Structure 1
Amino acid sequence: MLDSAVASGERHKASAKLAAGRVLVVGHRGAGGNGPSRGHAGRMHRENTVASFAAAAAAGADAVELDVQLTADGVPVVWHDDFVYYRERAKAGAGDRDFSRAAVSDFTLAQWRERVGGDAAAGRPSAQLGRPFSHGAAAEPWDALVEGHLPTLEEALAAVDPTTGLLWDLELKFCEARSDARRGEGLEGEVAWAAYTRLAAEATHAVAARSGHAVMYSSFDPDACMAARAVAPAEVAVLMLTDASHCPAGGHADARRCSLAAATAFVDAHGLDGMVAEVLALQKDPSFCKWGSEARGRWLLTYGNANNSEDVIAWQLGKGVMGICTDDLVSARNVVAAAAAC
């Protein structure tokens, strides 16, 4: 926990960033998540790639958030969505939405590189990728002005010099349709899912621990949060992510994920270090800003599309929010710097 680390004077590098009293600017999926491709809005760098992480560091981000999933053979790769939509490049054509769909866990690493992700030498995904850019929509072609292959976690961490001081928020991600189905199989399914989240946490931490980088862990999955807390050293922060039902699908079957009250209770009950809350949920009930404070050893960060608004960023300053995850690093840094100068 952060408070005990401060008391002992043995702060982890990540803790020290927050203990300095600054609001951290966190690059979402590197230099920003990718929105609809029309006009390449929000699409300079392909998200979750080495190029995007390097761009975030160059833009002065204090930290970057990235998404980690396991291949079928247990290798952590960097990918956000539940499913990968892909097709051979030779079949790509305007208006053609005929994509294959699979989860990361359906591929071995070799298959991932060959069929989807590519490698550093190619410098781009091996397939034409697609993405449904809104809930329930069909997949559309997904490209970027600055391409990059879809890296393993080890490749991503190795590409940035640890001496830059960049903090890495490693979000443990899973295909939710499959995790919900597994949990729905009763006690056996619950136990099996908990074991899988432990495997994911162990594989991720094994890579992170030898990278030399300051890291923290986060997840929307409560079981994954507990697994990360069990695996990571006490001085490495583990935070629960929550949309508090502010998501396109509306709500969630897991009650631990459906409110700020449930999230904070879970954090306190399981020895986690804090939460990353959807900023709209926090604006709806600002009293939860008081829950997070350095003195009590709790970290409070926020995420969400609204964090691309300078007004929303400014609203959070001075309220106890310690970090803001955003797609607009330049604007966020300007707002935070201006407030600090006052």
Structure 2
Amino acid sequence: MIIGHRGVAALAPENTLSGIRKAAECGLNWVEIDTQLSADGVPVIFHDDTVDRCTDGEGKLGAFNVSALKNLDAGSWFDKAHTNESVPTLEETLSFCVDEGMSINLEIKVYRDAQVAPLVDAVSAVLASSAFPAEKLLISSFSKDALLRCKAAIPQCRFGFIADKRNISDLHAFDDVGLYSVHVDHRMLTPELAKEIKGKGYILNIWTLNESEKADAFIAMGVDNIITDDPTLFIPKQPEDARCQRPSVRSVQGKFL
């Protein structure tokens, strides 16, 4: 399975509704997106700690209330065709994904330990009020504390540990979380590590692979899902379908991680 990274970050502004729509047009069933809190405690869809890279604003995301975030342009940095794209709230994103038939890998994006409790509590409240189908949701995080708090608040959900070279040694510490999946930086996945993860019964996802020629080797290791910025590299599309097209390289170069 191919999962769109931050929507589809190579084809549309990341973590936006237009990015999720583009993922659906490309034939994807899943997108990975990030959530953080606005200054007034509203979960919004955004990756960075600051708004500088992906909007026309400046400063810490957590310093903006939700109305101020809505007034930022979160699209024209990517392409002028996306001018006035807004930062979506989690609530409107869940509703949008229901309409689009999309499933969500929702990352609880934690930059500081103090963010865990208020963010998880707010996300849990939004999920409870939205009645988003649990089978269409996977919650992931680098933070064990965030996953444990999510498990206590929304035990019906599935949970994934995000691993890179900084924290892969903590894998055993997550045995008590009841993980569904482990999401590994593809640059550090080895056959031995893959065997260990699969031996624990976990679904194995890799991020963020944008080189289709490497896919077979990862699949041979037991990788279940590939998270990518550009699904067009992996999924053939019909020639007459112009909806799932890459923008010019110049318009996105250096703008997505």
Structure 2-normalised TM-score?
0.80
CA RMSD in angstroms comes to 2.6
Measure, in 2, the Cα distance between the counterparts of 1:50 and 1:271.
Answer: 31
SS at match of 1:69: strand
Partner of 2:96: 159
Measure, in 2, the Cα distance between the counterparts of 1:270 and 1:49.
Answer: 30
Deviation at 1:88, TM superposition (A): 10
- Change in Cα spacing, 1:73 to 1:25, as seen in structure 2 (3 Å) is same
- Change in Cα spacing, 1:319 to 1:82, as seen in structure 2 (3 Å) is same
SS at match of 1:280: helix
The answer to whether the aligner puts 1:212 opposite 2:132 as a matched pair is: yes
Match among 144, 147, 168 for residue 225 of structure 1:
147
1:227-306 aligned within 5 A = 227-234=149-156, 236-245=157-166, 257=167, 260-262=168-170, 264-282=171-189, 285-293=190-198, 296-304=200-208
What code does the residue aligned with 1:265 have? Answer: H
Match among 79, 96, 100 for residue 46 of structure 2:
79
Match among 317, 327, 330 for residue 219 of structure 2:
317
Partner of 1:52: 19
Tell me if the contact between 1:201 and 1:228 (Cα under 8 Å) persists in the aligned partners.
yes
- Change in Cα spacing, 1:163 to 1:328, as seen in structure 2 (3 Å) is closer
Measure, in 2, the Cα distance between the counterparts of 1:268 and 1:154.
Answer: 31
1:180-199 aligned within 5 A = 193=114, 196-199=115-118
Deviation at 1:329, TM superposition (A): 0.7
Measure, in 1, the Cα distance between the counterparts of 2:230 and 2:216.
Answer: 14
- Change in Cα spacing, 1:143 to 1:327, as seen in structure 2 (3 Å) is closer
Measure, in 1, the Cα distance between the counterparts of 2:124 and 2:205.
Answer: 21
Percent identical: 27
- Change in Cα spacing, 1:86 to 1:231, as seen in structure 2 (3 Å) is same
SS at match of 1:64: strand
The answer to whether the aligner puts 1:329 opposite 2:231 as a matched pair is: yes
Q: Alpha-carbon deviations, 1:265-286, whole Å to 9, x = none?
A: 122133332311101110xx32
Partner of 1:25: 2
Structure 1 spans left out of the alignment, 5+ residues: 1-23, 33-41, 90-99, 117-123, 130-141, 184-192, 246-256, 335-342
Deviation at 1:296, TM superposition (A): 4.9
Deviation at 1:86, TM superposition (A): 7.7
Measure, in 1, the Cα distance between the counterparts of 2:109 and 2:161.
Answer: 12
Deviation at 1:112, TM superposition (A): 2.0
Q: Alpha-carbon deviations, 1:56-100, whole Å to 9, x = none?
A: 0121113100010001221110111111128997xxxxxxxxxx6
Moved >6 Å (runs of 4+): 86-89
SS at match of 2:126: helix
SS at match of 1:315: helix
Deviation at 1:312, TM superposition (A): 1.8
Partner of 1:107: 64
SS at match of 1:83: coil
Tell me if the contact between 1:51 and 1:146 (Cα under 8 Å) persists in the aligned partners.
no
- Count of residues in Structure 1 that have an aligned counterpart in Structure 2: 231
Structure 1-normalised TM-score?
0.61
Q: Alpha-carbon deviations, 1:151-174, whole Å to 9, x = none?
A: 11111222233572x220111113
Deviation at 1:319, TM superposition (A): 2.2
SS at match of 2:192: helix
SS at match of 1:85: coil
| Larger Cα-atom Rg | 1
